[in-house]
């Protein structure tokens, strides 16, 4: 089935939010508290995505199969204070578990990469939960490298989690 990549619009917010909630519940089971994941609010995510799209600071691309949105990627200028101005950041990329391994993530990444290069970004980074082995394998396969000494700790619903940063030089690819 062919994958269609399209820019997100306000009419897509419900689908984006639903994928966000469900994919967190699928991807972070065992990494984040079960009660927190079970209580993720679709309504809250809809409000967050409404605000994100309204601000216009990031780009969201959708991956569709047979017209149904099943994955998305969100990216824009880096939020890291130690990064150069020509550095972009992938804020999030999620797909429903039923669609893992069918090329959606790669298609989204390649579309994101093309847009970032067209906007003259020369580097892109992303943050990933250190224990999320599946995501780390995906980023490594896409050409990203772990940035040494980039560990950062945060708390979520009483759990202590670590994130690490990955980066990719866009001018070499």
Q: What is the mean pLDDT of each run of 10 residues along the chain (173 residues)?
A: 92 97 93 92 96 96 93 96 93 91 92 96 96 94 93 85 95 67
Whole-model pTM over 0.85: yes
- Buried b / exposed e over 8-47, threshold 16 CB at 10 Å, is beeebbebbbebbbbbbbebbeebbeeeebeebeeeebbe
């Amino acid at each position: 089935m062919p994958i269609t990549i399209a820019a997100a619009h306000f009419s897509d917010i419900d689908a984006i939010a639903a994928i966000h909630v469900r994919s967190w519940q699928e991807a972070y089971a065992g990494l984040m508290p079960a009660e927190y994941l079970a209580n993720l609010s679709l309504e809250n995510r809809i409000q967050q995505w409404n605000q994100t799209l309204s601000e216009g600071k990031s780009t969201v691309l959708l991956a569709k199969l047979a017209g149904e949105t099943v994955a998305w990627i969100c990216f824009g200028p880096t939020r890291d204070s130690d990064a150069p101005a020509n550095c972009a950041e992938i804020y999030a990329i999620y797909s429903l578990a039923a669609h893992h391994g069918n090329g959606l993530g790669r298609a989204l990444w390649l579309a994101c990469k093309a847009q970032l290069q067209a906007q003259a970004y020369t580097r892109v980074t992303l943050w990933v939960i250190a224990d999320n082995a599946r995501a780390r394998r995906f980023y490594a396969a896409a050409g990203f490298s772990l940035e040494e000494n980039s560990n950062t700790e945060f708390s979520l619903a009483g759990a202590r989690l670590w994130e690490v940063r990955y980066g990719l030089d866009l001018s070499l690819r």
